């Protein structure tokens, strides 16, 4: 069992941290929110005075932060994690951030003699609570082997997708396919409705044909065909539209950074921006079908 610094105790970070405690690890926790720190203390963590202070007393650091700028700052500030960590520490960043930030911070960590993996997750708050998250892990083989037993206390699938930044790359590529296919399925249902073709009929054809996709057969955006999908509970997430927009923006950023044209990925980002700007960022991302139907 390790002593682990855990930075970022939000909707995802808090339950992930509690699963590390449950597994028997010692946790030094920190968050800017005092309420989050109090809850972490109640759960059994020791509260540190800051990210650097927590890292200085741990062997492993796990971070779960909102965006790339926070990750850069928390790791590379003069009193940050890299500067204050014990020699040879292991850093696990489970935030979902841009690939460039992930690689920048990993290089800085390595230059200072630490090991680092980017390990963004899928599975949402439910997966964080049940310790059933999927981790997509970028980093060296050595760093991955060190991270794996820590991650296994918080998730059930831990996939090594290559060198630094490749965890983020895998996540944004997957989620871009997801955002695009959800919009494609939603356009098809909205068009079918106008053509007088029932949702169930379209589902019956496409689910057994070349239109089959997770967005259709596991997460159908209209009520009925898949009883467990958020469409059947007024689009309560699930996976909020604001988070899909965040991931699509990261994909667009990666496309611009590498010169990769993303005609549908870019259009999908614009559509989710429209949906979120209309006030539906807290709805499940499959609710975008109602924007297309003119009934948001």
CB of residue 37 to a second copy, shortest distance in Å: 33
Q: Is 224 in the site for a second copy (CB under 8 A)?
A: no
Query: Of 15-23, 64-72, 226-234, 259-267, which part binds a second copy (CB under 8 A)?
Result: 259-267
Token pair 């950023």 is found at: 253
Catalytic residue among 22, 69, 171, 194: 171
> The tokens 């990666």 sit on which residue?
254
Q: Does 183 bind a second copy (CB under 8 A)?
A: yes
**Restricting to residues 74-133, which ones interact with a second copy according to CB under 8 A?**
99, 122
256 near a second copy (CB under 8 A): no
Site size toward a second copy (CB under 8 A) is 68
Read off the tokens for 135. 């981790």
Residue 27 dihedral angles phi and psi, to the nearest 5°: -120, 130
> For residue 271, what are its two tokens?
């559509």
DSSP annotation of 133: E
Residue 194 vs residues 191, 223, 268, 289: alpha-carbon distances, Å: 5, 17, 22, 13
> Do 14 and 47 touch, CB atoms closer than 8 A?
no
Determine the distance from the C-alpha atom of residue 163 to the mean position of all C-alpha atoms in its chain, rounded to a whole number: 18
Nearer to a second copy, 29 or 137 (CB): 137
Which residue ranges make up the site for a second copy (CB under 8 A)?
A: 99, 122, 134, 136, 157, 159, 161-163, 165-166, 169-170, 172-178, 180-181, 183-185, 187-192, 194-198, 201-202, 204-206, 208-216, 218-219, 251, 254-255, 258-265, 267-268, 270-271, 292
Active site residues: 171
């Amino acid at each position: 069992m390790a002593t682990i610094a855990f930075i970022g105790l939000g909707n995802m970070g808090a339950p992930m941290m509690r699963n590390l405690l449950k597994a028997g690890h010692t946790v030094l926790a920190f968050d800017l929110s005092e309420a989050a720190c109090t809850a972490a203390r109640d759960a059994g963590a020791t509260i540190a005075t800051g990210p650097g202070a927590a890292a200085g007393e741990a062997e492993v650091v796990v971070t779960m932060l909102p965006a790339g700028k926070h990750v850069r700052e928390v790791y590379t500030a003069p009193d940050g994690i890299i500067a204050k960590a014990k020699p040879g520490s292991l850093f696990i960043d489970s935030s979902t951030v841009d690939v460039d930030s992930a690689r920048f911070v990993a290089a800085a960590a390595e230059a200072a003699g630490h090991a680092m993996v980017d390990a963004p997750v899928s599975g949402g708050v439910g997966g964080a609570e049940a310790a059933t998250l999927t981790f997509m892990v970028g980093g060296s083989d050595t760093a991955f082997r060190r991270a794996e037993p820590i991650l296994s206390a918080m998730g059930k699938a831990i996939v090594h997708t290559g060198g630094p930044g490749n965890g983020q790359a895998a996540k944004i590529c997957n989620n871009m396919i997801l955002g695009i296919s959800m919009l494609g399925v939603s356009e098809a249902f909205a068009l079918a409705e106008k053509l007088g073709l029932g949702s169930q009929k379209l589902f019956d054809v496409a689910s057994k044909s070349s239109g089959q996709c997770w967005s259709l057969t596991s997460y159908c955006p209209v009520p009925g065909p898949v009883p467990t999908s958020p469409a059947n509970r007024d689009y309560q997430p699930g996976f909020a539209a604001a988070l899909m927009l965040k991931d699509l923006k990261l994909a667009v950023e990666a496309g611009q950074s590498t010169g990769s044209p993303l005609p549908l990925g870019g259009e999908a980002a614009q559509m989710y921006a429209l949906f979120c700007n209309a006030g539906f960022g807290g709805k499940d991302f499959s609710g975008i079908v109602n924007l297309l139907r003119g009934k948001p």
